[in-house]
């Protein structure tokens, strides 16, 4: 007896996603984590071979032909620009809430800075002057200099806490945390796809600013996506766990391909040593790069606001 089974396109995509997730875990466990990923007792960063990198980087790709189904669901006039709330389709058909702020300087097309917050952060923090990243001050400084700004809620963060049973993100479970960060990176790639549809945005001038967890994502993005022209990574942690190898900054640093890169770190930060910080910087293969050491811990100092603004003015306008 012959049974005809009709599977629509969405079911096929879901099946492929399940197979991809299984393959992802299998390849990582069998190929990546099983070799050359032990913590170096001499304090050297856990870099990977080209072969292992090729195994890892394929999971930062995404189906670009899946419709974004983007919509503007809210708009607010701010003193320095117009903030739009935008929802678009991310990875595994998730719906990603974001803000796009267009400066009110009268230009027809603007360079744009993608901002990636740290763990426990949200897009809302970038409109609060007193938040951990001093986000409101950074956003105003960028908009005042003619940059548009786009910020997403990362997986499990902000409005997306429902994806984690309304619990905050956690590093307690390394594989879950790893997948959270990898998915967020792919969704920032989808955000760039969306920006290319907006006439107010010059998609040839895209910058990125990432702090802490956002620093990890910035190293990933500048390695896997050539559309980013310049980037800044601040207080980027070293996770020191072989299970985090697919998201570690050292895995990606030597593959950074943007035109310029600023890295700043705090010499009192417990998430890394300054030896590790300088090693990471030296891995970045481009000529136009700069390292700034601040006398601080894991909290960005107020001085960084002027530094990152000047960097984008010089390298993105």
Q: Tell me the pLDDT of the chain averaged across its residues.
A: 88
H, E, C per residue of 184-211: HHHHHHHHHHHHCCCCCEEEEEEEEEEE
Residue 213, CB-side half-sphere exposure with 13 Å CA sphere: 24
Alpha-carbon distance of 221 to 219, in angstroms, equals 6
Beta bridge partners of 293: 265
Between 249 and 168, residue with greater pLDDT: 249
pTM of the model: 0.87
User: pLDDT grade, residue 26 (50/70/90)?
Assistant: very low
Residue that wins the pLDDT comparison between 166 and 288? 288
If 0-12 CB within 10 Å is exposed, 13-18 middle and 19+ buried, where does residue 42 land?
exposed
| Model pLDDT for residues 207-260, shown as the tens digit of each residue | 999 999 999 999 999 999 999 999 999 999 999 899 999 999 999 999 999 999
3-state secondary structure of 236: coil
Task: List beta partners, residue 77.
Answer: 82
pLDDT of 11 over the 60 cut: no
pLDDT at 25: 43
Domains of the chain with bracketed CATH? 71-316 (3.40.50.1820)
What pLDDT, on a 0 to 100 scale, did the predictor assign at position 79?
A: 94
DSSP 103-118: E-S--SSEEEEEEE--
């Amino acid at each position: 007896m012959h049974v005809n089974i009709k599977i629509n396109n969405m079911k096929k995509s879901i099946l492929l996603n399940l197979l991809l997730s299984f393959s992802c875990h299998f390849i990582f466990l069998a190929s990546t984590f099983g070799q050359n990923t032990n913590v170096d007792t001499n304090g050297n960063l856990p870099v990977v071979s080209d072969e292992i990198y090729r195994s890892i980087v394929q999971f930062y790709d995404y189906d670009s032909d899946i419709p974004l189904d983007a919509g503007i669901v809210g708009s607010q006039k701010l003193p320095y620009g117009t903030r739009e709330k935008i929802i678009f389709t991310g990875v595994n058909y998730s719906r990603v809430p974001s803000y796009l702020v267009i400066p009110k300087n009268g230009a027809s097309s603007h360079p744009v800075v993608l901002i990636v917050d740290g763990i426990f952060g949200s897009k809302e923090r970038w409109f609060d002057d007193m938040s951990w990243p001093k986000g409101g001050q950074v956003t105003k400084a960028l908009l005042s200099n003619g940059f548009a700004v786009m910020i997403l809620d990362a997986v499990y963060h902000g409005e997306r806490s429902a994806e984690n049973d309304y619990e905050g993100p956690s590093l307690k479970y390394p594989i879950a945390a790893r997948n959270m960060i990898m998915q967020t990176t792919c969704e920032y790639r989808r955000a760039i796809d969306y920006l290319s549809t907006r006439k107010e945005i010059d998609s040839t001038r895209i910058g990125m600013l990432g702090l802490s967890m956002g620093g990890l994502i910035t190293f990933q993005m500048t390695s896997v996506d050539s559309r980013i022209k310049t980037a800044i990574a601040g207080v980027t942690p070293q996770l020191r766990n072989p299970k985090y190898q697919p998201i570690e900054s050292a895995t990606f640093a030597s593959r950074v391909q943007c035109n310029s890169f600023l890295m700043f770190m705090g010499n009192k930060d417990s998430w890394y040593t300054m030896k590790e910080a300088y090693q990471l910087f030296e891995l970045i293969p481009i000529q136009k790069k700069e390292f700034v050491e601040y006398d601080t811990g894991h909290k960005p100092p107020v001085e960084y606001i002027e530094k990152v603004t000047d960097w984008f003015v010089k390298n993105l306008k």
